[in-house]
Structure 1
Amino acid sequence: MTIESMKKTKFSQRTYAEWQQAAEQALKGKPLEGLKTPTIEGLTLEPLYTKEMLDSLGNALPLQVAAVQNSKTKPGWLVAQEVDAISAKDFLAKIKEDLARGNEMIVYTSFQKMDWTDSELEELAGLITKYPLYFKVTQEDQEILQVFDFVGNEQMENVQGVIFSEEPVHVPRNVRTALIDLLPVHNSGGTIVHELGVALSMLAEEMETGNFTEKADRLWFRFAVDTQFFQEIAKLRAFRVLWTAFCSAYGQPAKAVPIFTETSVRSYSKLDPYVNLLRAGNATFSAVLGGADAHTVHPHDFLTKPEPVSRRIARNVQLVIKEEAHVSHVADTAAGSYFIETLTKEYVDAAWNYFLEIEEAGGYTEAMKSGWLTDDIQAKWMEREGEIASRKASLIGTNIYANPQEPVKDAEIDYSHIEYATAKRLATPFEKLRTRSKETLLKTAVLHLGPLKDVKRQSDFIVGYLAVGGIEPLLSPELATADSINSFLAEQEIDYAVLCGTKEKLAEVIPGLAAKAAIDVAGKYPQEQLSEWKQFGVRGSIYNGKPLTDKLEQILSLGKKAF
């Protein structure tokens, strides 16, 4: 086929009904509903989105697209990576090196209190007139804000950026200080609807007094972005739509407002930390496609102690996307996507309704004081934990495809990052299991009650299941009788074993078991059957979907403490 003939090739049009028929045939009788994915917020992700679905949004679609694009000042985003420094001199040296290597903001995050000399403040003043600033300062660390005294009046208009301060601060006109911070909601386990609804409620309290326009000029927003790729894109777009609706409710035009994002630590793990690179890349791509104005990538070893190379890699995550994907040249890359536009509208509707619920509860402050909002967020967090524990959701290297030989780092996040040290993380229960396994003497085995080719699938599943808890079982040869099982367990001094075999083989050998080891069977069996086998030493079963953490804790409790 030539290039010219390829250009003339036309693809036939297919209808949704034809796709549905083909999908049902491929599923071989399974219901098409199984292809739909429910989200933690109660929305449903369709297996296929069509133009007809987009058209069903009607007049809401052009208004939605306009709201997203008009509330962002320009295409692209700023690379805002943190700098780890031990002194003002060290900070200046490192920030200049980072700026030369792709960083685009002066990011200061109060790692520790620094003493600044006049010459150092003057040098910093020269930088903040050329690059936007992003300062996060504590009550004890305000000295850096004296930098504005070293900026000449003719240069003051060039000073732009944001400041997160616990105390009111006096800053140049183009520096925003009124933060609507959604990180606490996210880090306490909140869903996308929680984040968006709370953002509106916090805005409502912020705008109760004072001049709306003046306050809007001081606003900036901070979101964490997790690994649900399309949902996180829709979250940021939905917020811009909600901001426009909020302004409209006050009879005000919607001004462009900056959204600062950072990679969520909720899905980060100390186990197999290089997988955090994939999580960071995924979340970062969501953030920039969703329209973030500035973004921070937390290094893959952020939960322990980031190394200089990991900080460099984190910065390069953004630079690769910026230079290779070219998304920085487009104001709203996701505009017109059947999937993302539909999902954006669904989040807008759900978040607005949740905002109204918070207002009925007395507003954000009152809802927090009463515990209503905290309880609602906690309920969703427990649901999310349950999905991870049962493997309905995956954390690669943590609750699936774990490496039991991997050392567990016991270092913790530095106190200066207290907001992350206290964040709820999905990997925490598994990290505790792995640490406990290193402190426990436990001999385990997977018993093959048939040829390996017949039991390998079960055996591999059990090995992977136990690996999540840092347990490495001994794999037996084929054991055809109860006597051979009893002998193997005694000779190897096994504390815990799992039987892998057919239902018929299990029924044949279990009545003859007489071992001191705790025994489970591989596969899901009726409770009546397990109760019958209990008299022969079978304690339970392991199967796909069985909660991991509780079972692995029970198994580890069979061991002895290592000295």
Structure 2
Amino acid sequence: MSHFLFDEFYQVSAKEWKQKIQFDLKGADYNKTLVWESNEGIKVKPFYHKDDTKFLPIVTSKKKYSICQSIFISDVKVASFLAKDALKRGAKSIEFEAHAEFDIHQLLDQILHSGDTKDNVQIYFKLNFLSETFLIRLIEKCDDLPVFLNVDLIGNLAKTGNWFKNKKEDYTVLENILKKATTNANVLSVDAGLYQNAGADIVQQVAYTLGHGNEYLNTITGDTKQIVDAISFQFAIGGNYFFEIAKLRAFEYLWQLLTKEYDVNIKAELFVKPSLRNKTLYDSSVNMLRTTTECMSAILGGADVISNVSYDSLYHKKNEFGERIARNQLLILQEESYFKEVSQVAEGSYYIESLTKEITEKALQLFKNIEKSGGFLNQLEAGTIQRKIEQSAVKEQQLFDKGEITLLGGNKYSNVDERMKTELELYPFVKIKPRKTEIRPIITKRLAESLEQERIEKE
């Protein structure tokens, strides 16, 4: 027999709640007064009730998210030291980013031969180049260690406007790497964060990520389909707390549906970082509050790995203080706020379940439209995806400029006496290098950039 805390109370139906609200409004229109519409066209009600909630059959597993430290390789010795130090300080995963080939042994030997970390650590690579021989050497080196190579040919095309070499050669390299992959090596990745940071709304993010991943499913359904166990989806999480939780849940559900159609069992590995789009240069300490809630959304949405961004990452080079604070935010959530114990807490929430269902339905319809029009890559090459993201970004920017979207320290409660010009170690604004590209690249931009540029010019 089950005993529920609220069984002894009178059950109030959704209809009765609405009648009470209508009475208290004293003639005001319920829909115009209390219902608001998001940029995705989702109408958000003032309350949610089980009478009105239809649950999707989402199957989630209890899991503990892994804390990841992201490290850029400019000096291999330094990168190796920083990785070892981060693992001692609570990180369980390392993401290495590089623009060129590096000494694999010098980077990884200490990690591979450490008894304290070898059995627990996962290694992720973010390589801004494509080299078949180098990637195969990485696979061989990490033979007994879980490694994600994060090869994303389409993501590079979308971000830079060009293939690494050309479409045919890139896919040949990918096929050769897949054939060499071991059970511990996951090759493929989808850069979903690009769409978020460029201004795509949540429905677009889910649909475009699904379409992006579907292009790879079309590629790997031959001899290599048994090789691919997982694809790493690199999501960026914004400040719309509940919507972002629902975004990850909706994508994971749709991915399960899609892979069933291909008769493959390929896991969606959710690698999540906070968005940069809503971060501010001025009053940058507020960024810590933003990244905290964004990491919470990632945890409750079902992220496998979370790599936080430091509050000063827009204008400071990577530094020990900023990186330590960012990592400690995740450790506090995991160990002191007990988030590791509540990985399924979002399930059953009428609001989140309703949002998940609506985002799923809208994203699925958009995905079907993309497929009917020739597929994601076809629309990317035609410039359709770029145009749709730009339209969404312009709409969001207009709301920010009007003050309807607020960023503390940006367009609300800014510290007019703060000076940032002398603090800039990095250029915090969009940089566009004139170059020849095959397609128009997707450009990322923060909401507060124009406002901040005006302030810096006046300092």
User: Which has the bigger relative contact order, CA under 8 A and spacing at least 6?
Assistant: 2
The aligned counterpart of 2:57 is: 64
Change (3 A) 1:48 1:414: closer
How far 1:147 sits from its partner (Å)? 5.3
The aligned counterpart of 2:291 is: 280
Change (3 A) 1:17 1:283: same
Residue deviations 1:344-386, cap 9 Å, x none?
1111100010001111221111111222222111111111111
Change (3 A) 1:107 1:390: same
Change (3 A) 1:384 1:355: same
Change (3 A) 1:150 1:122: farther
Instruction: Judge conservation of contact 1:116–1:144 (CA < 8 Å) in 2.
Output: no
Q: Indicate whether 1:179 and 2:189 are aligned.
A: yes
Where do residues 458-469 of structure 1 align in structure 2 (5 Å cutoff)? Answer: none
Q: Distance in 1 between matches of 2:392 and 2:109?
A: 49
- Select 1:397's aligned residue among 386, 391, 409: 409
Instruction: Judge conservation of contact 2:237–2:244 (CA < 8 Å) in 1.
Output: yes
Change (3 A) 1:227 1:8: closer
- Select 2:325's aligned residue among 302, 313, 316: 313
Q: Indicate whether 1:80 and 2:57 are aligned.
A: no
The aligned counterpart of 2:113 is: 126
- Select 1:223's aligned residue among 199, 212, 235: 235
Residue deviations 1:507-553, cap 9 Å, x none?
xxxxxxxxxxxxxxxxxxxxxxxxxxxxxxxxxxxxxxxxxxxxxxx
AA at the equivalent of 1:204 = N
Q: Distance in 1 between matches of 2:140 and 2:22?
A: 70
AA at the equivalent of 1:235 = K
Residue deviations 1:473-510, cap 9 Å, x none?
xxxxxxxxxxxxxxxxxxxxxxxxxxxxxxxxxxxxxx
Change (3 A) 1:405 1:357: same
Q: Distance in 2 between matches of 1:264 and 1:98?
A: 22
Q: Indicate whether 1:301 and 2:289 are aligned.
A: no
Q: Distance in 2 between matches of 1:210 and 1:47?
A: 45
How far 1:249 sits from its partner (Å)? 2.6
Aligned CA-pair RMSD: 3.0
Q: Indicate whether 1:259 and 2:270 are aligned.
A: yes
Residue deviations 1:210-255, cap 9 Å, x none?
43742641422111111100000000000111012112333x2654
Computing the radius of gyration from Cα coordinates, the structure with the larger value is: 1
**Gaps in structure 1 of 5+ consecutive residues:** 1-6, 439-563
Change (3 A) 1:279 1:119: closer
Residue deviations 1:34-56, cap 9 Å, x none?
221211111111110001112xx
Change (3 A) 1:133 1:15: same
AA at the equivalent of 1:359 = E
How far 1:29 sits from its partner (Å)? 4.4
Where do residues 490-505 of structure 1 align in structure 2 (5 Å cutoff)? Answer: none
Q: Distance in 2 between matches of 1:402 and 1:26?
A: 37
- Select 1:423's aligned residue among 441, 444, 447: 444
Change (3 A) 1:254 1:239: farther
Change (3 A) 1:372 1:86: closer
AA at the equivalent of 1:91 = A
Residue deviations 1:134-189, cap 9 Å, x none?
111232898697455556xxxx3x41131124664454322211112212222221
Where do residues 36-185 of structure 1 align in structure 2 (5 Å cutoff)? Answer: 36-54=35-53, 57=54, 61=55, 64-66=57-59, 69=60, 74-83=62-71, 86-110=74-98, 113=100, 115-116=102-103, 118=105, 121-126=108-113, 129-130=118-119, 131-139=121-129, 146=137, 148-150=139-141, 156=143, 158-165=144-151, 168=174, 169=177, 170-185=180-195
**Gaps in structure 2 of 5+ consecutive residues:** 154-172, 433-441
Q: Distance in 2 between matches of 1:363 and 1:326?
A: 42
Instruction: Judge conservation of contact 1:243–1:254 (CA < 8 Å) in 2.
Output: no
AA at the equivalent of 1:349 = E
Instruction: Judge conservation of contact 1:361–1:367 (CA < 8 Å) in 2.
Output: yes
Residue deviations 1:433-490, cap 9 Å, x none?
212332xxxxxxxxxxxxxxxxxxxxxxxxxxxxxxxxxxxxxxxxxxxxxxxxxxxx
AA at the equivalent of 1:101 = R
Q: Distance in 2 between matches of 1:394 and 1:377?
A: 21
Q: Indicate whether 1:16 and 2:14 are aligned.
A: yes
Change (3 A) 1:8 1:21: closer
Matched position secondary structure for 2:280 = coil
Residue deviations 1:82-137, cap 9 Å, x none?
13564222122221111111111132112x65753856543243258431111112
Instruction: Judge conservation of contact 1:302–1:413 (CA < 8 Å) in 2.
Output: no
AA at the equivalent of 1:178 = L
Q: Distance in 2 between matches of 1:396 and 1:95?
A: 33
Residue deviations 1:284-331, cap 9 Å, x none?
000010000001111111111143211111101111111133232344
Aligned length: 412
Matched position secondary structure for 1:190 = coil
The aligned counterpart of 1:207 is: 217
Q: Distance in 1 between matches of 2:74 and 2:148?
A: 23
Q: Distance in 1 between matches of 2:147 and 2:107?
A: 20
Instruction: Judge conservation of contact 1:105–1:134 (CA < 8 Å) in 2.
Output: yes
Q: Distance in 2 between matches of 1:425 and 1:206?
A: 29
Matched position secondary structure for 1:195 = helix
How far 1:398 sits from its partner (Å)? 0.6
Instruction: Judge conservation of contact 1:113–1:140 (CA < 8 Å) in 2.
Output: no
AA at the equivalent of 2:49 = T
Q: Distance in 2 between matches of 1:117 and 1:216?
A: 23
AA at the equivalent of 1:310 = G
